[in-house]
Amino acid sequence: MNPRVLPLVFLCAVVGASGLSLERRHVAPNVDYGSAVGDALNNFIQTNLSDPLKLLPEGTEKIDIDLAELSQKIIGEGQTPPIKGSLSLADIFVKGVKQTGVDKSVFDLPSIVRPVNIDIVLSNAALDLEGQYEIDATLMSLIPVRGKGRITLRITNLKAGAATLLKMFPLPMKVDAFNYLLTLDVFQVHFEDLIGGGDLSDKINEILNNLIQTQLLPGLTDPESSLHASINAILADVVNGAVSELTAQDLLDLLNGLLKP
């Protein structure tokens, strides 16, 4: 599926998951649809997502990651990547998906000629990822990181969301402002059987997790980081690609569908 239309497809799926039909009715201005959108999102999570949830799309056996390229995107171009090499992941499942809840849901339509204020935040107390990995890399230009086997990842107290102003007029619709949110307490990864397992494997896992906590995660979660600005721009482009195909009537029909009993 073209990623440019994912936000639109997701919104349509939310409406469908709510068991609601769309009717062409006039939406009065100064209405906050946040409660209806929040209920629809909760319903979508509980009825449309499996738990555990398979991450890789059907037909994709594995994903290959260039660790040096990924590191530089996170810490900034021109910086020496702390890890170089390749990582392959397969058979990835996430447990705890259905424990995701809607912490905040604002969808304020003051009028059809003023920007729509959208602010959605989801949270999850604990997510556990399991899968298979194969890695051939060097850490800090010195420590070999090689192995193949089971990988586990635990994330706790995750909050993720986005706030945006959506301009309905003049057409095409577009994002006037965008800001994503990502916070978490723990991001703990464990590669089984690195360098054959044992104490050395545990030590390398410890070094890797320290690297993630001190160098990689701040770039993702800090709103002032250059990576945060880059991700904001990418996400805004994706949303703009989707909403540019909508008319104001399309959006009003979707919202009316959420309100219909």
Residue 162: predicted pLDDT: 92
Residue 30: predicted pLDDT: 59
Domain presence at residue 39: no
Domain presence at residue 208: yes
Q: Are strands 116-139 and 143-167 parallel, antiparallel or unpaired?
A: antiparallel
Residue 29: predicted pLDDT: 52
Domain presence at residue 127: yes
State the CATH number of the domain containing residue 105: 3.15.10
CA-nearest of 28, 44, 24 to 36 is 44
Domain presence at residue 207: yes
Residue 13: predicted pLDDT: 41
- What are φ and ψ of residue 148, in 5° steps? -155, 130
Low-confidence ranges of the chain (pLDDT < 50): 1-28
Residue 163: predicted pLDDT: 93
Tell me the C-alpha distance between 176 and 76, whole Å.
Answer: 26
Residue 88: predicted pLDDT: 95
Q: Are strands 143-167 and 62-66 parallel, antiparallel or unpaired?
A: unpaired
Distances from the Cα of 249 to the Cαs of 18, 90, 109, 245, in angstroms? Answer: 20, 42, 13, 12
In the chain, how many domains are there?
A: 1
pLDDT one-digit tens code per residue, 31-66:
778 888 899 889 889 998 888 899 887 778 889 999
Residue 149: predicted pLDDT: 94
Residue 112: predicted pLDDT: 67
Q: Which domain holds residue 96?
A: 53-247
Residue 259: predicted pLDDT: 65
- Taking CB atoms within 8 Å and a gap of at least 24, the contacts of 249-256 are 249/24, 251/116, 251/168, 251/173, 252/26, 252/27, 252/112, 253/22, 253/23, 253/24, 254/11, 254/12, 254/15, 254/22, 255/27, 255/33, 255/36, 255/107, 255/109, 256/22, 256/23, 256/24, 256/25, 256/27
Domain presence at residue 203: yes
